[in-house]
Amino acid sequence: MAHTGIRIGELSVLEPRKINSNKLKIRISATLYDKDGLGNYQIGPPKTKGSRRLVDISERVAGVIEAQIKDVKVFRLMIGPKYHKNKDGREFVFVNPTEQLPGYPLRPARVNEMLDKALISAGFISKFITAHGLRHTYISLSAEVGVSLDDIRKH
């Protein structure tokens, strides 16, 4: 998220078919809505009309995503028929990693839990940064290397 500016809900429903590793682009066209709980999630349009966009990614980010897609395929095979099949046939890059609701999109709260755990193990204080804060990190890093404000606003 710190390298793409993608919102947490957009990340949660990112599909492999929306990633072009050759052109180093991700197409953002949806976000997760789970106000009634993950078992009743909905996929809808991103936050704003301008949020439908192509996001540039680095080769390193593309490699991380490709590895994640492979890990999810292994997980799906391990879980078998209990693995969630979205009614629209969508597959997700980031899925709920437990046997409770396996294959459902990764909950935004779970992303923050995992981030907090990683930060604590690295010696930072709890809640040092949130997933949304990583979006701000992307903006700061982009500005630091000279990306125009208009281009940053598009993300």
Go through the chain and tell me how many residues it has. 155
pLDDT at 55: 92
User: pLDDT tens-digit profile of 57-69?
Assistant: 999 999 999 999 9
8-153 carries CATH number 2.30.110.10: no
CB 41 within 8 A of CB 32: yes
pLDDT at 76: 95
pLDDT at 92: 96
Find the mean pLDDT for residues 31-54. 88
Residue 150 pLDDT level (bands cut at 50, 70, 90): confident
Residue 146 carries which DSSP code?
T
Q: Kindly give, in sequence order, each residue whose CB lies less than 8 Å from that of residue 69, ignoring residues fewer than 6 positions away.
A: 16, 93
Strands (E) located in the chain: 19-20, 25-28, 31-33, 42-44, 53-56
pLDDT of residue 140 exceeding 90, the answer is: no
Find the mean pLDDT for residues 98-104. 88
Find the mean pLDDT for residues 99-108. 90
Q: Which range has the top average pLDDT, 63-77, 92-106, 141-155?
A: 63-77
Taking alpha carbons only, the member of 44, 36, 28 closest to residue 88 is: 44
pLDDT at 155: 62
pLDDT at 131: 80
Residues 25, 28: Cα–Cα separation, whole Å: 10
CB 115 within 8 A of CB 129: yes
